[in-house]
Amino acid sequence: MHQALLIPEVLLDIFAHLTRKIPLGRKSLAALATTCKAFHEPAMDLLWAEVHQLEPLLGCITRLHSIIYTQHKWWTSHDYHSTWAGLPDLEPLSAHETCQFLRHSARVQSLIIPYHDRLVHFLSAIPIETCVFPGLQSLTWRLSTPKYMDIFLPHTLRKCHLSTVNETLKYLVARRSALEHLSIDHFDPRAADELSLLSDSVRLCKRLVRLSCPPLDWAAWKHLSNLPTLLGVQIDAKRSAFLWPLERDMFNSSPFLNLRDLSIMHSSAAYIIAVMEHSQFPSLIKFTVRLELPSPAVAEQLFHTLSQCTTSQILEEIDIILDDYEDDYPDPDNDQDPPPPGNILTVIPHLLCFTQLRILELDFQGSYIRLDNDILLVAMSAWPHIHTLKITDSSLRPSVTFRGLFTAMRQCPHLDSLEIVIDTENIDIDPNAEPTPHTSLRTLELETDHYWVRNPEAVASIIFTWLPCIDGAGGGMENVIFYLERLRAAALDAVEAVSYN
């Protein structure tokens, strides 16, 4: 055996590669564990590090092995709930069987308990003081009850994912207030007691690093603002009609000193505006919003509030999606219908203060972002570090031209990915003029007011000469790609001919 294989760190790297890159990696780890003593412990640690159900662990019990794996084969083609229906009639693990179980459960670092798991009852006879999962760091608990949960809550637990807001959440945080990562999927917007339970539970967490949950009340926001450990918060209302009255009894919170990532999804614009107006985010790097498109006046207020935030000098990523607006809009195939004046949003000027932007993605459905050559030039001049720029809406007549686009792009030497609505019909640059190539752009999507570019050969020639490093194209450019590939093939043939001669 090579001496390098006797170094634990080297072995762990090799074995970890097996589980990530190679098919049947877990079978390979099992084989390695029986190869020699040096391989046994690190291979077994990785083999049992992530367990997605209790079946593998219980399958190691002699009495249950044939039952578990016979049922498992049946389950692959039948209903899960009926498959395990008879198992609760079997006896829980005995003291001897518990020792067998602990041989492998002590290695588990990440565990998922699925919905209606009927196998948990096998652990019910284990004494409460027994540390069944002493190394468990991450737990996904999808059961609706905290029954038997104590044996899954070691002091090492730092991350927990719950499916709903119920008594399980209160039980969890009461016993593990040192949780660092807490995620809750769903809640009933009609149940005020669930929302109160959620906010009260969050206020018991003292060391949160990342939180993902439904909307919180203002007392919970106040508590979070005082946590120096907090780095990321995602609020997701899952398109419910819920509106938490943040405006009532509101006061300014303490600064979120170290919060770097804030995401508010499927909530109301009023909720987001209230949070931004009454909070300070001096360290915020990424801000994400997704909600149903509000009225134009409220949308403008949202962007104005964002521009007044204390993050303007450091914010690097903004991702805002506004969709599902219910008003009727003009037919985009009717060139005679101008966009309704009240639905044109002048959002870009509100974002010019974010001089450190590296990623900006604005996706508006049912409204129109005011964007032309002049606005684009001012914007790109304000964002010299921009790497990814995506501005899409339901605009009827693109106002940005090729000349305006290339002039603006000179201000952004690091631009790598671009998606924008552009006028591809009125080509306002001389195809025979000496180009000034932009060599950092790799991905391009040019949306048009039609499903395809009407002059694909000319557009392909412009892209080929002005943007020579493009390796990905999309949007309405499907018919452009054909001509672009022909130009590249011809250029490659020319280079090969010169090299041959």
Give the C-alpha separation, 158 to 30, whole Å.
Answer: 28
pLDDT given for residue 412 in this prediction: 94
Q: Name the token pair of 191.
A: 């149940």
| β-bridge partners, 235 | 213, 264
- Which pLDDT does position 483 carry in this prediction? 86
* Residue 357 contacts residue 348 (beta carbons within 8 Å): no
- pLDDT in the model for residue 96: 92
pLDDT tens readout for residues 266-290: 778 888 888 888 888 999 999 999 9
Q: The domain containing residue 482 runs over which residues? A: 285-330+338-501
For residues 233 and 256, give the distance between their C-alpha atoms in angstroms, rounded to a whole number.
11
Q: How far apart (Å, rounded) are the C-alpha atoms in residues 53 and 114?
A: 7
Q: What is the reported pLDDT for 135?
A: 93
Contacts 24+ apart (CB under 8 A), 352-356: 352/378, 352/379, 352/382, 353/307, 353/312, 353/382, 354/311, 354/312, 354/315, 354/318, 354/382, 354/383, 355/312, 355/313, 355/382, 355/383, 355/384, 355/385, 356/313, 356/314, 356/315, 356/316, 356/385
Q: How high is the pLDDT of residue 330?
A: 44
Is residue 319 in a domain?
Answer: yes
Q: What is the pLDDT of residue 212?
A: 95
**pLDDT (0 to 100) of residue 23:** 57
Tell me the whole-structure pTM to 2 decimals. Answer: 0.83
* 172-212 tens-digit pLDDT: 998 888 899 999 987 665 566 777 888 899 999 999 999 99
Residues 6+ apart with CB under 8 A from 455: 424, 425, 427
In a domain, 13, yes or no: no
Residue 12 located in a structural domain: no
Low-confidence residues in the chain, pLDDT < 50: 73-83, 239, 241, 325-336, 338
What's the length of the chain?
A: 501
CA-wise closest residue to 233 among 194, 193, 283, 197: 283
pLDDT score recorded for residue 384: 95
Question: What is the token pair recorded at 113?
Answer: 């308990």
Q: Alpha-carbon dihedral of residues 379, 384, 385, 389, nearest 10 degrees?
A: 30
Q: Is residue 201 part of a domain?
A: no
pLDDT computed for residue 190 by the predictor: 57
Contact 50, 110 (CB under 8 A): yes
- Decide if 196 is inside a domain: no
Q: Is residue 433 part of a domain?
A: yes
**C-beta separation of 25 from 18 below 8 A:** yes
243: left (phi over 0), alpha (psi -120 to 50) or beta: beta
pLDDT, position 19 = 67
DSSP state of 486: H
Q: How many domains does the chain have?
A: 1
**The domain that contains 475 carries what CATH number?**
3.80.10
